Structure 1
């Protein structure tokens, strides 16, 4: 058999060296140190009778560190971790790790002195997350009363903790904190806000919660009387909404409820629960608020007769005057936006006492009759003539200005 035939036989191929898998197992690595370094056995074709078998030390093939890891892996144990020298966990080191967002253990600081230093250090840095982390650590490891005393003299930390309790909805802890600090009024308000926020459209539940809050918290001497009154008025509103039993009115404002009554129950007499006047009395809605709601509701419904009845009156000489709690300039601006008639606008402008202001407002809203009348009263022919030229020829206002200029009874000053 020639050389080519020998290497092409299947048996020879099976014995040929394979380079596809050159990764040795742990057992194979260990076995290397226990096998001859030259030849596998005496009958090997690579052996020679003139060379003695020599064993290589395992340390020449694998480093001691790797060998240790192999042996540990074979035993099934966890590899040991090389100990590293760690810096001492001082207050400064802990604060640095907190600010940088690194893992740190606050519980190594056991003394009250180190805990105070942690808190004061976080406050000095001004990092909100660090401050809150330290405060929560103090809450876990110290008496709450002591923590509250520490916070009372550190407003920044206190405010961060209050915000945290609010955001987390921990109303009981927040109430305890503020009450212990002598801030009962704030504690009551926070509870009120929490109940309104969490009860949603559950009117019955909200009424019960607020009634209990009024009795137990808003009755405290430290709570402002005006705040107690506002909560009591709100309970009355909720009771009215429960009586009406309209889903769209639940948890709406008194003015929204008044607008509903003006729209749907305008002619109900006072004393009736649906009467606008009854809602005003129960909720102590001011006359200014009442006038504003009535104006907007009926103007949008195009019921100008109701608006004029409400805002204009006849004096004892039969002259029409304006009666409204809305400031006149505010009233004029809103009437213009709602596209009120020029007659109503003129009536309102004529109420202005100052001739200069009256003229300014009449020109602003193009109430021509008032402008012409004002120039005539001022006996200013030149001003009236100039104004006439700005009007459309042969319009009603143009003819009024022309006739006024021809009025012989007026003694013009120019």
Structure 2
């Protein structure tokens, strides 16, 4: 008697067995679903009972689903796309690709060979609004098209352009970013990206940074038609770097002008004007506004408890011998900061009495608990 293993291993049984490996159907097999088998077949269906006799009335699948839809199903299953791209084919292929991109599935963008197909792919990604899909398509265009053509496509698609600019900036690809912006007629913006990159990449190497900024001024910002405000800003920064190189203090390298001013107020307050380390020299050299100068001086000396310097700077005697407040800082802002820094009641009283409006004087006197 034949056991179960022998039965299932016989060639006759294999001929009728269903294989789970054959899960990919051909177009002919899909179209044959529901069709009645030919009358000349040798074997009868085992499902020929009256209970399922209605299967004889089933319609072929191609009468229910259009051939184009069937082709699309097969394309999604196989990952292959037709080589001849009609308008309908392009639309279907673009839709499938975008769907896979948005869902994070693997897909090949190289099936989009024509410029029309690539353009529709880009526009489709923009209309969906998925940033990853937009950037993926833009990078694909950069790889497969002439850069001039890509820049022309991006110039009239600001959303895609901004995604690509952000990508280049984040990745530190400043040369590619500068080329893109220059070709789009945005040279001043390209120069600013180069300026920030120079500062970020050179660290505390003042000599190297000075050389790079000098080249930037000569090649971009000092050229006809360049932005004069940007050129002045970079030139002022070069002057600050030159001063930092002269000071030769590691803690000052690549710091702001106000930071350097605060250092000079704390360490070189008694230096006379004209001395490179004098606070007034730094103020004049870097064109620091009087308001910022007063604010830095106030905070530096108040935090060091040098209130005599603060009072000398911010209070004056008029010709009648009365004490008045002299500061470029708005009086209420000055009062608030003096209170935070724990100034004396006498100094707060002097500032309150400087206010012209009697109502404001009363209100602030009550707020800071001083006598009028």
Higher relative contact order (CA 8 A, sep 6+): 2
- Matched with 1:59 is 11
Structure 1's consecutive aligned runs of 4 or more residues displaced over 6 angstroms after TM superposition are: 64-67, 79-83
Using structure 1 for the length normalisation, give the TM-score.
Answer: 0.69
- Matched with 1:205 is 208
Q: Which residue, 135, 138, 141 being the options, matches 1:138?
A: 141
- Matched with 1:328 is 331
Deviates more, 1:274-283 or 1:83-92: 83-92
- Matched with 1:21 is none
Q: Which residue, 117, 125, 129 being the options, matches 2:120?
A: 117
Distance in structure 2 (CA, Å) of the matches to 1:104 and 1:337: 62
Using structure 2 for the length normalisation, give the TM-score.
Answer: 0.77
- Matched with 1:353 is 356
Distance in structure 1 (CA, Å) of the matches to 2:288 and 2:299: 16
Give how far 1:110 is off.
1.2
SS at match of 1:313: strand
Give how far 1:220 is off.
3.6
Measured on the aligned residues, the alpha-carbon RMSD in Å equals: 2.6
Taking structure 1 as reference, are residues 83 and 234 closer, same or farther at Cα in structure 2, changes over 3 Å only? farther
Q: Which residue, 223, 237, 240 being the options, matches 2:240?
A: 237
Whether the 8 Å contact between 1:185 and 1:222 is mirrored in structure 2 is no
- Which 5+ residue runs of structure 2 have no aligned equivalent? 27-73, 82-92
Structure number, greater radius of gyration: 1
- Matched with 1:8 is none
- Matched with 1:177 is 180
SS at match of 1:217: helix
- Matched with 2:255 is 252
SS at match of 2:221: coil
Matched, 1:318 2:321: yes
Distance in structure 1 (CA, Å) of the matches to 2:15 and 2:130: 49
Report the count of equivalent residues: 308
- Matched with 2:129 is 126
Matched, 1:307 2:296: no
Give how far 1:219 is off.
2.1
Matched, 1:158 2:110: no
Distance in structure 1 (CA, Å) of the matches to 2:158 and 2:180: 13
- Which 5+ residue runs of structure 1 have no aligned equivalent? 1-23, 25-31, 34-56, 68-78, 371-414
Distance in structure 2 (CA, Å) of the matches to 1:207 and 1:81: 68
